Structure 1
Amino acid sequence: MTTSTPASVPCAPSCDAPSLPPVLVGALMRHHRTRAGLSQLKAGHIIESSGSRISDLETARTVLPVSSAHALLNAYGAPAPEIRQALALLALPDHQHRIDCFAPTPAWVDALIAGSRSVHVYSADPASLSHFSPAASPAPGVPGGRPSTPRRCRMVLLLSESLLNLAWDGHPAAAHLPHLLRLAENGVISVHLVPGQLDAHASLLAEYTYTVRGWNGTVTDRLRRQIFVAHHDGAPGSVGNGGAAAAERQLLQQAARIARPLQWSLHQLRQAARAQQQDMAVDGPRAAFSRPVSSPDTRARRTA
């Protein structure tokens, strides 16, 4: 993970979209607090404050002092590199809507998932899916503390159909497909295949609709709460929201518009995953499964 100070783009103070650093760090603090099994009230004692103060810090309702973030993350047992990255984010000046050189660890991803109502992910590269954590996996709480109960959110994976060709050709890069199939069949994620390959600037792009500062359910409120994290293979990624993330929002909207229906996508994923498993088990032709040659007749259902 990159721990140097991230590059950033400041924004006008009048912008109504929340600044990214306090939102990201607040989500990380909530994640590690629940993993430690601490209530907001007990966490407040760490900085000689109240549980409501902890709630305000975690949801970016109030200014998050660097000293408080440091004390809380350290008390929660957060890894030192994550603490350093969090403090570097909070040191950025003014109102920020794009942060480059941001390389989120699985804890950052789980933190955003746990605080989001929905997550949409687009991928055209099988290796990039290693960044995608489909469900928060909290550690047991401290003795006497509360167990963590992360809130479930709707998770949609928009997967380029080109990845299935790797499975039919026996490519080892498609070995993750059986795992994706299990997640889809268990209802953990919804998988929709996307025809062709969109002009994505990253190997994986995730949209988190984060519920910071309450929730009123309007379209304007949803757009204000969307956070986009782009993963770049072999290089640090970026995170953005508001107007600075317009290109990322448009790409995901395009992928959702042309995505195949859920049941058809699941059937094709199941066929490709089974073919991949059979190819790994024995050499020779795969007679039991045929490569799909036509697209569904039904109209693709919108996923966003």
Structure 2
Amino acid sequence: MKKCSLYFKAIFTVKMLTVTMAFLLTSCYSGYLSINYEVHSGAVWNDKHTNVAFVASKTAWRNVKDIARFPIGGRSLYLLEDVGLYIFDYENKLLDELISFNELAGCIGTNRTRWEVKLVLTDTMVYYSISPLLGWDREIEHPLIPEKSQLLASLKEKYKLPYAFNMFTKTETIIDSTVFNNLFAESKDAYSCNLTSLNKQLAKIPLADWGLNPQEIYPKPDRKYIEETIYLRNTSSQTRRAVIEQIIAKLSKSEIELLLKKMDDYKNSLEGLKKTEFELYSKDSYEQIKALL
């Protein structure tokens, strides 16, 4: 009987420790979600300048709270880390993800400075070559995540040759390196797409089209997302934009007007530098909400 009692006490203790650790780790992170996308270098036009192919990263994370940096280190909690090949229809403002490179992203990260991307775009095909910027061998010898070295070796075999992706059949095939290099050399200067211009156009694309939906990534009541947006508690401008597009846009005209009034009232309740900062940093969100009327 005594052994049985000790056994159950041990189980209870382990469960309590597990719950406590889970709570502590969860409480180490901010309750506010940050989201972002980043277009990599190497975007290219097709010959008619109607479509652009590019590789982009998209991320979502919760920042570490200042008081919690010691127990868990300084890295934010990432809820989404994706890298993919996209096609953007300039005329119709349509964005489509063709291929996901998430296995490789899980090994070398999503930062565009770690990727080498070469693309060629025609009306029907996207030819691509991807690799770590520092080279496969160096990445395998000094991996960002040590336990991923074997996976990197297999990905090297997968991506050591370029591919051709058929946009109509949604299929891809390996192509000869010499063929790809010739295509790339012929097109890289003539069809290179300026990233500044591209980003201006992509800024008009709803974040839902990127798959950046706050409620799916980090669910919580709409009310909380709205409050942190209108009072600027969430410093991520992209998250605030997503909340406006995906949550506030569904409200009635009178409800939207009330939110604008709350923002005005809150601004008027502030003084000095705080008021100036709120006016400055809330301007885009305010105008985005106002545009819904």
TM-score bucket of the superposed structures, by smaller chain: under 0.3
Give the alignment's TM-score, normalised by structure 1. Answer: 0.24
Question: Could you say which structure has the greater relative contact order, defined with CA pairs below 8 angstroms and 6 or more residues apart?
Answer: 1
Between structures 1 and 2, the one with greater strand share: 2
Give the alignment's TM-score, normalised by structure 2. Answer: 0.25
- Structure number with larger C-alpha Rg: 2
Between structures 1 and 2, the one with greater helix share: 2
